[in-house]
Structure 1
Amino acid sequence: MMEWIRAGTVWEPVSLIVLLLLLVSLLQGMRRGASGSARRLFFFVWDAVIMIVCLVLAGRIAGSLSPKAAEWLTAHVDVPQRELSATLQAWYTFITSLRDFALLRYGILFLVSYLLLRLAASFLSPLLEMLFASRQRPGRHESMERPPGGQAASRAAGAVFGTVHGAGRAFVFVAILFIYVSLAPNGLWSNLIQQSPLYSKASAVLEPVAGDMLTGRGPVLAEAVQAEFQNVLQRKYEIVDYNIPADIEQAALQITKDKSNEEEKAKALYDWLGSRIAYDWDKANNYVDNGVWKEQTPEETFKTREGVCIDVARLYAVMARASGLEVKVVTGTGLDGRGGSGPHAWNEVKIDGGTWIPLDATWASSGDWFNPDDFDKTHIRAV
């Protein structure tokens, strides 16, 4: 106990917040008295139990419904092959991401399930309130006045209940910090939190309970969430470019008409774009020097025969889909091998029924960037 007290008296942000929670709860307990503080403490514990039960049930419900939801969305969601309004683009970006990205789908189902369970559980609270009110209502022959010294005793008992309530609040606060540090060990303020003696003592208690679940898996989960978010951002290009203009479709079919498999089609399109679309240095320099970005559609890139990496990648994706290929626009960082780097975009295309291979038609004039062995050394996917 003395070690905890010494850790709590080191003046740093975590211990100061914990002491503030204890002090505020103690003062609230004294003000409310014994019965009011006992009631607050009971509902604090009740709410914590309900939250844990709802979290566990929501996890099970989301895990059970996720594959069924994916099947239903696959069968019923079909993006129209026409020009879409901004509202429809946003809707189809969301609904197809929900269909295709498992982590996003699980997260949405978990959140909805948890909120519905909490809503259902909220109907129990009024019943408990009525029970407390009936037990605290004085009897017909009971004096309404407190006996001498009763108020002081009530305040003292309330202070005890309030301190226990404050300890519960402090535990929840430290547990949230523990989860945050476990998920984002290099995140904002993580180092400051870990330097707290009080946090170190508390994390030693929490580690056996949640350590196996969070340690090691936390950063992996955080990276998975970032990757899923990046997938959703990339999906917008697919939806915006889902409508394939007739001239682009005809060109793509002409380029791939003599190719017998998916890899040959993908390579033919790569060669065509790499040899015909010039890099738009004026557009790139205007963005770097002046911060001015000119958005252009795949059709504009096709007609003008110039664009930057994202323009080439989007045009490749449209032409690949016109040829019956599954394709992605990937964004991240490009490394030139001489110490230089910058934002970049390229493609991945599915061949042989399931293998995704990378390619970079923007860099085709500088070498073979159709699925080379060292592609991932120069193209760092954003996560």
Structure 2
Amino acid sequence: MNFLIILLSVLGLIALIQLVRVFEITGKLRGNNQDDIDFQENKLRGKLWLLFGIAYFGFFIWLVWEYGDDLLPVAASEHGAVIDNVLNFNWIILILAFAITHVLLFYFASKYYWKPNHKADFITHSTKLELIWTTFPAIVLAVIVIYGLSAWNDITDDAPEDSINIELYSKQFAWVARYAGEDNKLGEANYNFIGGSNQLGLITPETIKDRKSTLEDEVINIEAELANAPEGGAKEEELQENLDKKERQLAKIMTYERQNEVDPFVNADDDKIVNMEFHIPVNKPVNFQFRSQDVIHSAYMPHFRAQMNCVPGTKTRFHFTPTITTEEMREKTGNDEFNYLLYCNKICGAAHYNMQMTIVVESQEDYEKWLSEQSTFTSVETAQSREEEKEVSEEEVLAEKN
């Protein structure tokens, strides 16, 4: 099919070239000089340029009228309004430049068409003109840069001390939100602790103990397999690499164990982890911390005019204050099903399109009520441990009966 399309395209191009050639030959046979310029044709083209210019601007106005409402609604955060002002300021400058240059383009094309016995003036140099078209754009650009940097410095300033601390954790292909507990401090985390119900790798005295025990068991099992593996084979090499990896992880866990004896990792105990959707209170500053488990993701919240990359191995931050609740935005947009959404704005893999999470902006009272209903990390871990112990006990009972 592709070959047929290419073949037809080539044949069409050849036919077009031949038609042009035939037109040139017939013109010569009729005695027409292709280099002769006809005044009436040029006059007609000048008028057509003017008509085209009118249609061009009419089409531009129609586009703005037809699709202007499809842009994002009013910004739902304090800094978002500032960003919109900067963007609108740039749009005003761009549209003015666009209108002036294109009006002149169509005007000159329609007025200064070729006329007999008229010779154009050729100006090779004008210091005055060069100063104008160099200085004026430089001043405009300086204003844009200074205005933009001023807004950016305000946006990226330190978060207020009374901000709510929330972590948005990205992984292929989902978002997880973590709220700081009563102390408003997010607990420490490390990828070496990821496993089981500890999907974010949070560090607590209990997770240190559990992870150390798990790794010690894995090391023992690998050593047993390694002892029975054929010497010099691929299996032995694979097991040895896996053993080295587990031993390195175990060494890191033991480092955290020693630190825990001096300064216990207790901040994560009362952290709250939620999936599918997270809530934030209106008119309250929120300080977001971003992490990634695997590849680079990008937390994108368009209605709040916020975006920040999530980079494996490091923490990034962004803060804003929401100003419009979900219900208020539904009224503004006339859409009863409207929801704020968190997207991933990096193509992070095959199921990238699945990476979205609902954001609910509500009153302080509703937010506190919702947050009080969420389980703490320690309570989830305890419930998980009890469930595992129950399963082990049931297996032991069945084994004794058999």
TM range (shorter): under 0.3
> Which structure's residues are more often strand, by fraction?
2
> What TM-score do you get using the length of structure 1 for normalisation?
0.27
Decide which structure has greater helix share. 1
Q: TM-score, normalised by structure 2?
A: 0.26
